Amino acid sequence: MTYHVGRFPLSANGRSLILNGGNGMIKVIVGDELNEVLGVHIIGPSASELVNEANLLITMEGTAAEDLLSIHAHPSVSEAIREAFLASEGRAIHIPNKKK
């Protein structure tokens, strides 16, 4: 199975900077064939609040595109999950995108 990865540092998330200095990061693993969410790694003080979104996506066999269609309030730490999915597609807003 082939996959691609998106990473987003919480230091690039405004709410995380206010709450804890931006320590931590989010990594998403997305299958290439169906764009399904295969895994999410959340490291940081807000992880216990963000794990629910990751759990729902994986349990419902959700896709990265479906997460990108959902609302992520601003300013919030949950925006970082959206940014990680955007990064997996080379479309991140608040960090430089890696060339594929």
CB 68 within 8 A of CB 6: no
Catalytic residues: 74
Q: How far apart are CA 53 and CA 67, in angstroms?
A: 9
The full length of the chain comes to 100
Radius of gyration of the chain (CA): 12
Q: Do the bridges between strand 37-43 and strand 25-31 make them parallel or antiparallel, or are there none, so unpaired?
A: antiparallel
